[in-house]
Amino acid sequence: MNKYLILGLISMQIQSIPHKMPSPAPVMDDQNMFNAIYTFPEQIEEALKISSAIKLQHSYKHIKRILFAGMGGSSMAGAMTKALLQHESPIAIDVHQNYDLPQWVNDETLVICISYSGNTEETLSCFQAAQKKHANIIGVTSGGALLNACKKYNYDVIEVHEGLPPRAALGYLSVPLICLMEKLGITQKETLKALRSTIENLKNQRTIWSKQSNNNPTYRYASQLSQFMPVIYGEDSTTGCIALRWKAQFAENSKMIARTHMLPELDHNEIVGWHNNPEQLKRSVVIWLLDPIMHPRNLTRQKITHSVISSAPAIQLEFAAPGNTWCERMFHLVHLGDWISYWCALAHDVNPTTIKNIDTLKKRMRTSTITAQPPKIKISSNQE
C-alpha cells in the first residue's frame, strides 16, 4: 500500500521498498527481518527523497529548545539526531522517554513527537502535555492516533512508510528528523551530503555482513557473543546512543540481555564493579564503540579502563567505523550492530522479529485496572 508524506498542506506519494532479499532462515525468520536490515541503505535513500519535499506551514524561528518525545525505536531516531547535531546546534536538544513533560517546556519549545505506530501511549501523553503547555508540536509517524491528532489540530506532521517493526524503521524516522533540523537552521547541508555518502558505504558493507559465513565478521562476532552477556560501552553525547541501540537490538532481535554505560561516568563507579563474582564476569563480553570525535581524555580513559578491567570479562572487543564524517561513522556502527544482533538471533534459534514479552505487556496494560498510586513504603525495625 502506498503511503504519503504530509507536512501541513504538502503531500507526496511514496513507493514502499520492495522485498529484495530472501531470509537465510525463512522458517524462523518468517517476517524477514533479514530483508529489513539488508535494505537499510535504500530506506535512507528513500527517506532523503521524501524529506526533500518538507515544507513547513508554521514558523519556528522563535524556538529556544527542542525536545524529542518518543519510546523504543522511535526514541532512538531522536537520540541519534541529538548525538549527530548537538555539537553544532545553537539551541539545546533533549530526548524525553516518559509520559509527562519537563516543567521547562513552554511556548518557545518545539516538541517533536515520534511514534512509528502513532499509538504509543507515552508519546500521546506527551502530545497532550505539550498542548497544555502551548508548546510547538511536530509529529513523525506512520499513522494511528498521533497522525489523526496532528491533522485535527493543524500541526506539521511527517508521515512515513508503515509496515515495519519500529526498530527496523530507523532510516524512515531519523533521516526526516535530520532534514527537518536543516530546515530549522540547526545543521548545515553538509550533513545531508554525508548521509548520501553513508548510503554507498552501507551498500558496500552489507555485501559482506549479510553472508551466513565465517568470512563475514558480523557472523563470527555473533558466534562469540551469543553465549555471553554483552556489556556495551560508549561515550556520553557521541557513541553512547549507539551503545543503547546495540543493547536494544540484542534484546528485541536476539532475545538477549545486554548492559550499557558511558564514558566518562562509568569510570566513576562501574569500573570498580569488575571485581566480585568472577564466574559471572567471565560470562561477559565488553564491547567498546569508539570514534575520533570522542573527547581526547575519554579516548585516553578508554585505553586505561580497558587495561584495568582486562582480567575480568571473557574478552573485550573494540569497534570504530570508517568514514570521513561522524554521520557516516554513526550509521555504519548502527548497521554493524543490527547485523550482529540478527546473527545472534539465528544462533539462538529465535525469531528476530517477534517481541512476545512486549506484546504481553501491552495487552495487560490495556486491560489493567491498577490504580496509579505511588507504592507504600513500610519501615520496619529489628524488634518486629
**238 and 258 within one domain:** yes
The active-site residue, picked from 62, 268, 376, 378, is 268
For the cut 70, the answer to whether the pLDDT of residue 367 exceeds it is yes
For the cut 70, the answer to whether the pLDDT of residue 260 exceeds it is yes
HSE (CB half, 13 Å, CA atoms) of 280?
6
Q: What is the structure's pLDDT at 7?
A: 39
**210 and 183 within one domain:** no
CATH of the domain at 304: 3.40.50.10490
What is the H or E stretch that residue 7 is in? strand 3-7
Tell me the three state secondary structure of residue 10.
Answer: strand
Select from 187, 212, 231 the last residue of a domain.
187
**176 and 98 within one domain:** yes
For the cut 60, the answer to whether the pLDDT of residue 1 exceeds it is no
> What average pLDDT does the segment 32-60 reach?
94
Q: With respect to residue 203, please indicate whether it lies within any of the assigned structural domains.
A: yes
Q: With respect to residue 360, please indicate whether it lies within any of the assigned structural domains.
A: no
Report how far residue 276's alpha carbon sits from residue 346's, in angstroms, rounded to the nearest whole number.
Answer: 32
> What average pLDDT does the segment 77-81 reach?
97
Q: In 10 A of CB 339, how many CB atoms?
A: 26
> What average pLDDT does the segment 232-239 reach?
97
Q: What is the structure's pLDDT at 11?
A: 32
Q: What is the structure's pLDDT at 113?
A: 98
In this prediction the pTM is 0.91
Which residues, listed in sequence order, are joined to residue 261 by a DSSP beta bridge? 233
Q: Which cell is 261 given?
A: 554505560
Q: Which cell is 381 given?
A: 525495625
Select from 187, 205, 223 the last residue of a domain.
187
Q: What is the structure's pLDDT at 50?
A: 85
> What average pLDDT does the segment 365-373 reach?
75
Q: How confident is the model at residue 380 (pLDDT cuts 50, 70, 90)?
A: low
HSE (CB half, 13 Å, CA atoms) of 112?
30
Report how far residue 72's alpha carbon sits from residue 95's, in angstroms, rounded to the nearest whole number.
Answer: 12
The active-site residue, picked from 55, 64, 151, 362, is 362
Query: For 153, left (φ over 0), alpha (ψ -120 to 50), or beta?
Result: alpha
Domain count of the fold of the chain: 2
Q: With respect to residue 376, please indicate whether it lies within any of the assigned structural domains.
A: no
HSE (CB half, 13 Å, CA atoms) of 294?
27
**164 and 219 within one domain:** no
- Residue closest to 339 by CA, chosen among 201, 215, 220: 220
**211 and 174 within one domain:** no
Q: With respect to residue 65, please indicate whether it lies within any of the assigned structural domains.
A: yes
**310 and 232 within one domain:** yes
Bond into 264 cis (ω within 30): yes
Catalytic (active site) residue 328: no
Q: With respect to residue 274, please indicate whether it lies within any of the assigned structural domains.
A: yes
pLDDT digits (tens, 9 = 90+) for 293-333: 999 999 999 999 999 999 999 999 999 999 999 999 999 99
Q: What is the structure's pLDDT at 12?
A: 32
- List phi, psi (to 5°) of 23: -70, 145
**22 and 137 within one domain:** yes
Q: What is the structure's pLDDT at 375?
A: 58
Q: With respect to residue 108, please indicate whether it lies within any of the assigned structural domains.
A: yes
The parent domain of residue 160 ranges over 3-187
Report how far residue 308's alpha carbon sits from residue 242's, in angstroms, rounded to the nearest whole number.
Answer: 24
> What average pLDDT does the segment 138-167 reach?
96
Q: How confident is the model at residue 6 (pLDDT cuts 50, 70, 90)?
A: very low
Q: Which cell is 364 given?
A: 495487560
Tell me the three state secondary structure of residue 342.
Answer: helix
Catalytic (active site) residue 203: no
Q: With respect to residue 58, please indicate whether it lies within any of the assigned structural domains.
A: yes
Catalytic (active site) residue 268: yes
Select from 187, 214, 239 the last residue of a domain.
187
Q: What is the structure's pLDDT at 20?
A: 78
Cα 300–chain centre separation: 27
Q: With respect to residue 242, please indicate whether it lies within any of the assigned structural domains.
A: yes
**111 and 243 within one domain:** no
**164 and 63 within one domain:** yes
Report how far residue 349's alpha carbon sits from residue 229's, in angstroms, rounded to the nearest whole number.
Answer: 17
pLDDT digits (tens, 9 = 90+) for 331-343: 999 999 999 999 9
**201 and 177 within one domain:** no
The active-site residue, picked from 252, 255, 328, 335, is 252
**252 and 293 within one domain:** yes
**240 and 321 within one domain:** yes
For the cut 80, the answer to whether the pLDDT of residue 292 exceeds it is yes
